[in-house]
Amino acid sequence: MPGITLGDTVPNLEVETTHGKFKLHDHFADSWTVLFSHPGDFTPVCTTELGAMAKYAHEFEKRGVKLLGLSCDDVQSHKDWIKDIEAFALGSKVKYPIIADPNKEIIPQLNMIDPIENGPSRALHIVGPDSKIKLSFLYPSTTGRNMDEVLRALDSLLMASKHNNKIATPVNWKPHEPVVISPAVSDEEAKKMFPQGFKTADLPSKKGYLRHTEVS
């Protein structure tokens, strides 16, 4: 799929949003950001998703993470749509900005295109304070996002970053569960880095590569 992808720097576009104009890099500069796109305003799946983002906003705030939406209509349309979103979300307020892209010029620059429908997609990038993409999800128009999985993946990225990517999170990992130590870390290094100890799985290959440890 062409366009920016994992590890790439998001272009420093000036965007018009429901919170005014700003440059993307200025917005990303001091924290992680969840950037999520939608094909258009007043559409059923998107309305449920933005409502869920509003409900989950406190979870992102606890982690010091910003939310930034994008939809392919103008700012006034977004502001009108927000009334529906908040009504559906039963009192949760949309406090995050939503980028306007009525001419569909921003969407391709952010690689948020649905290759099947050849148009705007239901995409999500997690962007680091360095303005680089750390994780991307791309969903078809028929499938809404799972906000618990977005949070879980975000927690994994934050945990790995905190430990200089010397650890990784295994399948179905959730916060407070054991992590695995990177194969790039020797056992001697691991003993120094993880004084709490680690457990090496006894596997037929005897290669000792699967090591679990507890971190916070």
- Compute the radius of gyration of the chain from its Cα atoms: 20
Burial 43-75 (b: 16+ CB within 10 A, else e): bebbbebbbbbbebbeebeeeebbbbbbbbbeb
CB 68 within 8 A of CB 34: yes
Distance of alpha carbon 192 from alpha carbon 194, whole angstroms: 6
| Catalytic site residue from 46, 70, 133, 154 | 46
Q: Which two tokens stand for residue 81?
A: 């749509």
Active site residue 46: yes
Q: What are the catalytic residues?
A: 46
